[in-house]
């Protein structure tokens, strides 16, 4: 189930990334690169940081084809996607929680401490979007006041908490995803925001 959700998530992330590339007038190569970075970048950053190889897209090169195909499709149906913006926001939220759980599991497999397991989940869930925004010259969503990284941390904490109290891994995954997804979607629906720091005083 988690693998199927992962495939759905990388397709959705690649398609929305293609629109970001299109807004910057990128060519087809640029569109595909932005799609790869967004959909697969979080796991890549995690693996580099924790020296965990091979990369998912090296072990499964079909992920590159799937995401590139999704990005090119998005370029052709961009006007339709605009009308389905809410659906893709939901799919992005799904991708966030699925990537987070996978990131936590990878860190657990290599016996990292609990704090690093949570960090691994957040990196996997959020780093791809940060790389996309940086390459597209946008302020990363992670650094905005939206509840995004915090939703990832809540998802990872819930997953670890459920496992700690003896709930089976499958049920723990479902419950943690449901909690993280609910938090992210409710924050979109009701425009919940994290506190922000505003400072305008010049130091020179």
Q: Give the pLDDT confidence of 29-57 residue by residue, as tens digits.
A: 999 999 999 999 999 999 999 999 999 99
Structure tokens at 139: 């302020």
How far is CA 38 from each of CA 13, 161, 184, rounded to the nearest angstrom? 6, 29, 19
Q: Report the chain's mean pLDDT, rounded to a whole number.
A: 93
If DSSP codes are grouped into helix, strand and coil, which group holds residue 146?
strand
| Residue 140 in this model has a pLDDT that exceeds 90 | no
pTM of the model: 0.93
| Residue 204 in this model has a pLDDT that exceeds 70 | no
User: Helices marked H in 77-168 — which ranges?
Assistant: 78-83, 85-109, 114-135, 149-164
Tens-place pLDDT, residues 83-127: 898 899 999 999 999 999 999 999 999 999 999 999 999 999 999
Lowest mean pLDDT among 57-61, 65-69, 137-141, 200-204: 200-204
CA 69 to chain centre: 19
| Residue 130 in this model has a pLDDT that exceeds 70 | yes
- Please name the residues in contact with 89: beta carbons below 8 A apart, sequence gap of 6 or more: 188
Residue with tokens 């006041």, as numbered in its chain: 145
Q: Report pLDDT for 90.
A: 92
């Amino acid at each position: 189930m988690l693998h199927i959700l992962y495939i759905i998530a990388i397709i959705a992330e690649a398609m929305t990334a293609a629109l970001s590339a299109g807004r910057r007038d990128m060519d087809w190569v640029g569109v595909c690169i932005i799609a790869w970075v967004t959909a697969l970048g979080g796991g890549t950053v995690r693996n580099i940081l924790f020296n965990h190889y091979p990369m998912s897209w090296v072990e499964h090169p079909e992920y590159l084809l799937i995401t590139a195909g999704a990005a090119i499709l998005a370029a052709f149906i961009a006007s339709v996607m605009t009308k389905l913006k809410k659906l893709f926001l939901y799919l992005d939220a799904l991708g966030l929680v699925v990537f987070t759980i996978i990131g936590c599991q990878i860190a657990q497999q290599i016996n990292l401490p609990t704090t690093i397991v949570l960090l691994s989940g957040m990196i996997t869930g959020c780093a791809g979007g940060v790389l996309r925004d940086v390459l597209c010259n946008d302020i990363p969503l992670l650094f905005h006041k939206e509840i995004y990284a915090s939703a990832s941390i809540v998802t990872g904490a819930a997953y670890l908490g459920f496992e700690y109290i003896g709930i089976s891994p499958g049920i723990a995954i479902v419950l943690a995803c449901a909690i993280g997804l609910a938090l992210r979607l409710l924050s979109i629906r009701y425009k919940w925001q994290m506190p922000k720091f505003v400072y305008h005083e010049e130091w020179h």
